[in-house]
Chains A and B, each alone.
Chain A
Amino acid sequence: MGLSQSAPKITAHDRAILDLKLQRDKLKQYQKKIQVVLDREHEIAKAHLATGQKDRAVIALRRRKYQQSLLLKTDSQLENLEQLVSTIEFSLVEVSVLHGLKQGNEVLKEIHREMSIESVEKLMDETQEAREYQREIGDLLANRLTHDEEDSVQAELLALQGEALGQAEPKVRLDLPSPPRSLPLVSEEAQQVLQETKRERVPLPG
């Protein structure tokens, strides 16, 4: 009793489809029956011919022809029915697709409502404020150190960085192309490039 609750309700659509399909089944069964009759008439005609009753054989064959035309007619009817059934089922699929799209749209709207531009702006502002606040605190704390202390801190930092680079290099070398080792080298190259570009520019106006 309670189990049938979650099963979808049987709608008029469902009944209509079932009706159509049952009709289709009946047609199929009818075709089977006609086929049996066809075979039987064939046998009868053969038997009559064997006993020399030609006219009766002709009658049997005529009946057979008629049954054959019936079979053809039912074939086209069957086709109609099957087409109708397929069309209906396909439309149902379309309906469910539409339903899915609608729901997806709703969800998207819902999400957008929660994520309005003002609230995002507000959030970004707040984040900015918080960052600035943090920076101020950092400044305040940093200002307590003397310049000498600050210098030694920086030197220590550089030493640490150098160590880290020195340690990391052998590992990195294994399979990577070697990167530029130190900052001055890069700046020299940049200067060369700059000089070259300057040199090249000179002849142009002259």
Chain B
Amino acid sequence: MALSTHTTPSGFLLPSIHSAPPFFTEQPNQSTHAHLTEKWIHLILTYARHKRLFVLRVEDAEVPGGEWDEILRNERINRRILPQYLSSLMAIMVAKNLAVYEPSKQTRAVLLYWRLPEEWADVLHSWATATGQLNTILTFYEISDPPIQSPLSGIPIPLLRRAITILSRSNRAQIIGVADGEGVRFFVG
């Protein structure tokens, strides 16, 4: 069977390599392994961006029915990525600063950086500017779950916190803490 691209029901275009059985197993040859790892990481990040997924768990390779099935499995060739392989991919991504273990001190789940925290910081600041929310106090909940869809809808709080920390370093944001929780205020900067 010739390898071809495939469009998933969610409209994501899978690369042709996704139809190659060896893609789903760890290759003994080192250069092949490195090459496929590169492909996998790229695939994971583009898919995450496509579906706005932020978290990848080893569990996603173990149990079917999750959000990641479309890329972690290929029913057409009856293949799926083994949890062990996914786990090693995650470790490489963390090492390359394309993801981070979240919560830390475990290696079962990662927070994906399909935008780096620095890029998120920019997105966040331009959103606040565009919606006229400079100099007003915003809660984290308000940013991650705004009444109007924004590029920040659904952003995990840890990632949001990182982005805000970056902004506060350049004086473009200020974190305000009270007993009940936290808020943030953006400045022109």
Footprint of B on A, CB under 8 Å? 3-4, 6-8, 10, 14-15, 17-19, 21-23, 25, 28-29, 89
Cα of A17 to Cα of B137 in the assembled complex, Å: 7
Interface contact B180-A19, CB-CB below 8 Å: yes
> Provided the pairs A3-B171, A7-B187, A89-B136 are in contact, do residues A25 and B176 lie with their beta carbons within 8 angstroms?
no
In the assembled complex, the CB of B164 is this many whole angstroms from the nearest CB of chain A, namely: 13
Interface contact A15-B142, CB-CB below 8 Å: no
CB-CB nearest in chain A for B141: A25
B contact residues around A18 at 8 Å (CB):
137, 139, 176, 178, 181, 183
Interface contact B176-A22, CB-CB below 8 Å: no
Interface size for B (C-beta < 8 A) is: 18
Interface contact A21-B139, CB-CB below 8 Å: yes
A contact residues around B180 at 8 Å (CB):
19, 22-23
Interface contact B139-A22, CB-CB below 8 Å: yes
Cα of A96 to Cα of B174 in the assembled complex, Å: 20
Q: Is B94 an interface residue (CB 8 A)?
A: no
Which of the residues A6, A17, A28 comes within 8 Å of B171, measured between beta carbons? A6
Interface contact A3-B185, CB-CB below 8 Å: no
Main secondary structure of the interface of A (DSSP, over half): helix
CB pairs A–B below 8 angstroms (17 shown): A3-B168, A7-B187, A10-B176, A14-B137, A15-B178, A17-B137, A18-B176, A19-B180, A21-B137, A21-B138, A21-B139, A21-B183, A22-B139, A22-B180, A22-B183, A29-B141, A89-B136
Q: Is B169 an interface residue (CB 8 A)?
A: yes
A contact residues around B139 at 8 Å (CB):
18, 21-22, 25
In the assembled complex, the CB of A10 is this many whole angstroms from the nearest CB of chain B, namely: 5
A contact residues around B141 at 8 Å (CB):
22, 25, 28-29
Interface contact B174-A7, CB-CB below 8 Å: yes
Interface contact B178-A19, CB-CB below 8 Å: yes
A contact residues around B170 at 8 Å (CB):
3
B 163-189 contacts with A by CB, 8 A: 168-171, 174, 176, 178, 180-181, 183, 185, 187
Which of the residues A6, A8, A22, A89 comes within 8 Å of B178, measured between beta carbons? A22
B contact residues around A21 at 8 Å (CB):
137-139, 142, 183
Which of the residues B137, B142, B185, B187 comes within 8 Å of A25, measured between beta carbons? B142
A contact residues around B181 at 8 Å (CB):
18, 22, 25
A contact residues around B136 at 8 Å (CB):
89
CB-CB nearest in chain A for B138: A21
Cα of A28 to Cα of B141 in the assembled complex, Å: 10
B contact residues around A4 at 8 Å (CB):
174
In the assembled complex, the CB of A52 is this many whole angstroms from the nearest CB of chain B, namely: 33
CB-CB nearest in chain A for B180: A22
A contact residues around B183 at 8 Å (CB):
18, 21-22
Contact mask for chain B residues 117-154; partner A; CB cutoff 8 A; 1 contact, 0 none: 00000000000000000001111011000000000000
CB-CB nearest in chain A for B172: A7
CB-CB nearest in chain B for A7: B174
Name the residue in B169, B171, B174, B183 with the highest tally of chain A Cβ atoms < 10 Å from its Cβ.
B183
Interface contact B171-A7, CB-CB below 8 Å: yes
A contact residues around B171 at 8 Å (CB):
3, 6-7
**Top 3 nearest A-B pairs by Cβ distance?**
A18-B183, A25-B141, A22-B180
In the assembled complex, the CB of B115 is this many whole angstroms from the nearest CB of chain A, namely: 24
CB-CB nearest in chain A for B185: A14
B contact residues around A6 at 8 Å (CB):
171
Cα of A6 to Cα of B170 in the assembled complex, Å: 11
